[in-house]
Amino acid sequence: MAEAAEPGRRLWIRDPLAILAEGAGGGIVVAGTRIVEHVPAGARPAGPVDEIFDASRHVVIPGLINTHHHAFQTLTRAHPLAIDKPLFPWLKALYTVWGRITPEAFRLATRVAFTELLLSGCTTAGDHHYLFPRGLEDSVDVQVAEARDLGIRAFVTRGSMSLSDREGGLPPEALTQDDDAILSDSERVLNLFHDPAPGAMVQIGLAPCSPFAVTKRLMRESADLAARHGARLHTHLGETLDEDGYCQSMFGCRPVEYLEEVGWLNDRVWLAHGIHFTDAEVARLGGAGVGVCHCPTSNMTLASGRCRTCELEAAGSPVGLGVDGSASNDSSNLMEGVRHALMINRLTYGAEAVTHLDALRWATEGSAACLGRSDIGRIAPGREADLALFTLEELRFSGAHDPLAALVLCGATRADRVMVAGRWRVIDGQPLGVDTGMLHEAHSRLAVALFGTL
């Protein structure tokens, strides 16, 4: 097995079928955790190499970066209470069962979601976890441990819900925590796990769930706390017209005005969805450098609307990609999300305006920018060696010509190899160290036991 984890040990990923990088037709050289050299077509690396991986069957792209997910929702996919509903009724239906989650179910849900992401070519797993019922107070710790075990890079955002339906919010009281408990745990996990250094394998952000699930005080104090730790902020915003109506009646303003009022209009913030913005709001968000995670699969499933990706990018907002929770996707396949992004944006902007390279860019460089990272998201010397390698050997690719376009247009969903920080984590389509059969059995058994209604 080709490895390149040791510092100074050089692995040449040689002569790829295609690669999403300039001047690297002959492949790339990886040393330690980083890419150190591009090899032009027909050439050899400038220096000696210790190992060679023949990539002539592979299309090589930067590892995909997921910037929005809720791993726990893998336990309630395609749930009869929630299917065929728009966001607010969907949420209210699932709130009635999510409180039943147990620590072991949550651990397995995280493992399932992160493994699915990895298999789809994702090397950085973002998760927005906002459910902390009794017994799950250490949810962030669990997610960090699972990511480390799988070897996937993680960006875990400590989510929160503190505004219950008794106080005018949407979630039931049983699923909320008080602001002080949330802020105290947020500080704890920032101190314990957040690594601001380039090459970090674990980063932590703060993520009050949405305007309709937390208090104004929590929004403000989360922003202050994140600023003190140099950490980023994340929340759901602009997902549905119901949210617009809620903000008007609860706060007397639109969601973007609310964001500004609580100190969130800056370039350390990225938002999930970002659909229902006016032209003036797009300009304000772009001018402030607020990032937006586009979640095409979820937006189509819940019929929430279409993200204004092109206008946001033109205004200055980084645009990334996310699968969103597995109860509104209902999978955790980011490569599938790339294809969905291409399709829904073509429907919005036209066939010539959005290409497969745009969709791949959102899932890589755009997502990296949302997370405030310049060490991942591209295949370039000096960047972390996070790579996804796909073959075109399934029947669905037969007859395909442009290999990079084929990945998106023919519908690649499963990577053959995935490298994170210079180490192979998926080989021959299998995640290292995970028995997917046993994981499936244990996770689905708990999903039925805890959430089954039939």
Kindly state the tokens that stand for 231.
């950490």
Residue 306 in tokens: 């279409």
Q: Is 265 left (phi over 0), alpha (psi -120 to 50) or beta?
A: beta
Considering only residues 260 to 289 of the shown chain, the ones binding Zn ion according to CB under 5 A are: none
* Separation CA 116–CA 102 (nearest Å): 21
Nearer to Zn ion, 324 or 336 (CB): 324
The stretch among 81-89, 137-145, 227-235, 319-327 that binds Zn ion (CB under 5 A) is 319-327
How many residues make up the chain in this entry?
A: 454
Least Å distance, CB 383 to Zn ion, is 28
414 C-beta neighbours (distance < 10 Å), count: 16
Rank residues 72 and 424 by Cβ distance to Zn ion and give the closer one: 72
Between residues 4 and 293, which has the closer beta carbon with respect to Zn ion?
Answer: 293
**Token pair for 196:** 């601001």
Q: Which is nearer to Zn ion, 324 or 386 (CB)?
A: 324
Tokens of 199: 């090459």
Closer to Zn ion by Cβ: residue 116 or 416 = 116
Which residue's Cβ lies closest to Zn ion?
324
Which residues 348-367 are close enough to bind Zn ion by CB under 5 A?
Answer: none
Position 384 contacts Zn ion (CB under 5 A) = no
Rank residues 32 and 159 by Cβ distance to Zn ion and give the closer one: 159
- Interface residues for Zn ion in 242-261 (CB under 5 A)? none
Contact string 402-441 vs Zn ion (x = CB under 5 A): ----------------------------------------
Residue by residue, DSSP assigns 240-274 as: -HHHHHHHHHHHSS-HHHHHHHTT--STTEEEEE-
Q: By three-state DSSP, how is residue 309 classified?
A: helix
Instruction: Map the footprint of Zn ion across residues 204-243, applying CB under 5 A.
Output: none
Q: Report the nearest approach of Zn ion to the CB of residue 339 (Å).
A: 20
**Closest distance to Zn ion from the beta carbon of 236 (Å):** 5
Number of helical (H) and strand (E) elements in the chain, helices listed first:
15, 18
Rounded to a whole number of angstroms, the minimum distance from the CB of residue 269 to Zn ion is 15
- In the complex with Zn ion, the residue whose CB is nearer, 324 or 330, is 324
List, in sequence order, every residue forming a beta bridge with 153; answer none if it has no partner. Answer: 124
Choices 158-166, 274-282, 316-324, 441-449; region in contact with Zn ion by CB under 5 A: 316-324
In the complex with Zn ion, which residue's Cβ is closer, 324 or 365?
Answer: 324
224: buried, middle or exposed (CB in 10 Å: 19+, 13-18, 0-12)? exposed
How near is the Cβ of 70 to Zn ion at its closest, in Å? 6
Specify the stretch interacting with Zn ion by CB under 5 A; choose among 98-106, 217-225, 322-330, 429-437. 322-330
Half-sphere exposure of 69 (CA within 13 A, CB side): 33
Task: Measure the CA–CA gap between 60 and 95, rounded to whole angstroms.
Answer: 41
Alpha-carbon gap, residue 102 to 348, rounded angstroms: 41
Q: Which two tokens stand for residue 407?
A: 């990945």
Residue nearer to Zn ion on the CB measure, 128 or 356: 128
324 is an interface residue for Zn ion by CB under 5 A = yes
Q: Which range touches Zn ion (CB under 5 A), out of 76-84, 118-126, 162-170, 317-325?
A: 317-325
Stretch that binds Zn ion, among 154-162, 193-201, 276-284, 324-332 (CB under 5 A): 324-332
Nearer to Zn ion, 274 or 403 (CB): 274
- For residue 12, what are the β-bridge partners? 29, 52
**Beta carbon nearer to Zn ion, 136 or 421:** 136
The nearest distance, CB 328 to Zn ion, in angstroms, is: 7
d(CA 173, CA 176): 5
Which residue, 256, 371, 355, is CA-closest to 315? 256
Cβ 295 to Zn ion shortest distance, Å: 7
Provide the CA 110 distance to its chain's centre, in angstroms: 13
CA distance 97 to 73: 11
Beta carbon of residue 324, minimum distance to Zn ion (angstroms, whole number): 5
Preceding omega of 330 cis (within 30 degrees of 0): yes
Minimum CB separation of residue 239 from Zn ion in Å reads: 8
Q: How far is the CB of 94 from Zn ion (least distance, A)?
A: 12
Interior angle at CA 163, CA 187 and CA 125, nearest 5: 50
| By the rule CB under 5 A, 330 interacts with Zn ion | no
How many residues belong to the site for Zn ion (CB under 5 A)?
1
Smallest gap from Cβ 218 to Zn ion, in A, equals: 18
**Where would I find the H helices in 120-215?**
139-150, 179-193
Residues found near Zn ion in the complex (CB under 5 A): 324
